[in-house]
Amino acid sequence: MGSTGLKSAADRGLLAPTDWKRPSVRWSTRLAHGALLAGLAIAGLGPMLWLAKAAVTPTQDTLREPMALWPNGFDFANLAEAWTRVEIDKYFLNTIALAAGSWAVQLLVAATGGYALAILRPRIGKVISGAVLATLFVPSVVLLVPLYLTILDPPVVGTSMLNTFWAVWLPAGANAFNVLLMQRFFANLPREIFEAARVDGAGPYRVFWSIVLPMSRPIIGVVSVFAVIASWKDFLWPMLVLPDPELQPLSVRLPILQQFVELDVFLAALAISSLIPIALFLIFQRLFLNGASLGGAVKG
C-alpha cells in the first residue's frame, strides 16, 4: 500500500478543480483511491472478518485451511460454549462493570473540575490547572510502581484496594486530557447565559446541573466514548490490581484462557470480546472520528 500510494499521490489533483478535469489525473486518482480502499478493507476489515468466520468454524478447519473462504462445517455452539462453559459471561460483566465505573469517575472528575476551573475560577485555579496539565507531560511509566503501592496501601482508606474495582475506577479519573477538554468546552460557552441565570437566582450547583451539563452533551459524548473504549482496552493495570480471576476483565483473562481452551472456542471468546467496542464504534462513528481528530487539535 505504502509505496504505490505514494507514487500515485504525485499524479493526483491536490484540491484543484482544473486538475480533476485532466483525464490522466482523474484516472490515476481513482486508481489510487481504489487501491487504498482495497488495502484498507484488507487490513482493517480482513482480520475481523477472519475472526468472525473462525469463531463459528470447527478447530480442525481453522487449523488445516485457515484461509478457506467457506468452512466445511459451521459450529455455532462455539459461541455458546465460550459464553457459558468458559465463563466469558462473567468476564464480560466484569469488563462492563470496570468500564461503567471508570466512565462515571472520569466524567465526575472532568465535569466538576472543568466547571470549577473554567467557570467558577477560584483564585488558585491557575495553579491547579497547571498541576493537572503537568501530568500530561509525565510519561505514564513513572506511575506504574508507585501507583501500585498506593493501591496496596492507600492513604486515609487504610485497607488495600487490591482486588476491588475501585483500584481501576479511581486512577482512571486522574485523566488530565478529559479535564482539559471539558475546561476548554466550558470556557467557550456563552457567558451571558450564566449571567442571566445568576440574575434569576441560580447558584453554582443549579448552573452546573441545569445549564452547563445540558449544553455540554457533545463533549460529554466524546469523553464518554473514549472512557469506555480505553477501559475496554486496558490490560496491564487491571492485571496488576485484580489478581483474583473472579474479578478480571476479558483483556486480562483471554491470554490465560488461550492456554487451556480449544482453539475454536477461544476464537469465539475473542470475537465476543471485540463485539461491544466495534458495535460502539459503528453506532457512534462520527463521535469517534471527531473525537480522534479533536485529540490532534488539542495536541496541536
Is the distance from CB of 219 to CB of 177 less than 8 angstroms?
A: no
Nearest approach in angstroms of CB 236 to another protein is: 4
Binding mask 18-47 for another protein (x = CB under 8 A): xx-----x---x--xx--xx--xx-xxx-x
Nearer to another protein among residue 22 and residue 217 (C-beta): 22
Q: How many CA atoms lie within 13 A of 16 on its CB side?
A: 9
With contacts defined by CB under 8 A, name the span among 69-77, 78-86, 213-221, 290-298 that binds another protein. Answer: 290-298
Nearer to another protein among residue 54 and residue 81 (C-beta): 54
**Residue from 82, 170, 265, 287 that binds another protein (CB under 8 A)?**
170
Strands (E), the chain: none
Burial 79-93 (b: 16+ CB within 10 A, else e): bebbbeebebebbbe
- Cα 215 to chain centroid, rounded: 23
49 binds another protein (CB under 8 A): no
Binding mask 183-222 for another protein (x = CB under 8 A): xx--x---x--xx--x----xxx-xx--------------
Size of the site for another protein (CB under 8 A): 141
Is the distance from CB of 84 to CB of 151 less than 8 angstroms?
A: no
Dist CA 199 CA 182 (whole Å): 25
Q: Which positions from 53 through 112 interact with another protein, judged by CB under 8 A?
A: 63-67, 102, 105, 108-110, 112
Of 173, 151, 174, 158, the closest CA to residue 242 belongs to 151
Dist CA 99 CA 168 (whole Å): 9
Nearer to another protein among residue 42 and residue 80 (C-beta): 42
With contacts defined by CB under 8 A, name the span among 5-13, 74-82, 84-92, 213-221 that binds another protein. Answer: 5-13
Q: How many CA atoms lie within 13 A of 297 on its CB side?
A: 9
Dist CA 228 CA 96 (whole Å): 9
Nearest approach in angstroms of CB 276 to another protein is: 9
Joined grid coordinates for residue 158: 487504610
Q: Which positions from 120 through 149 interact with another protein, judged by CB under 8 A?
A: 120-123, 125-126, 128-133, 135-149
**Residue from 82, 86, 117, 265 that binds another protein (CB under 8 A)?**
117
With contacts defined by CB under 8 A, name the span among 2-10, 70-78, 82-90, 213-221 that binds another protein. Answer: 2-10
Nearer to another protein among residue 51 and residue 97 (C-beta): 51
Q: What is the DSSP letter of 120?
A: I
Dist CA 133 CA 124 (whole Å): 14
**Residue from 103, 231, 247, 268 that binds another protein (CB under 8 A)?**
231
Dist CA 107 CA 179 (whole Å): 9
1 binds another protein (CB under 8 A): yes
Binding mask 240-259 for another protein (x = CB under 8 A): x---------xxx-xx--x-
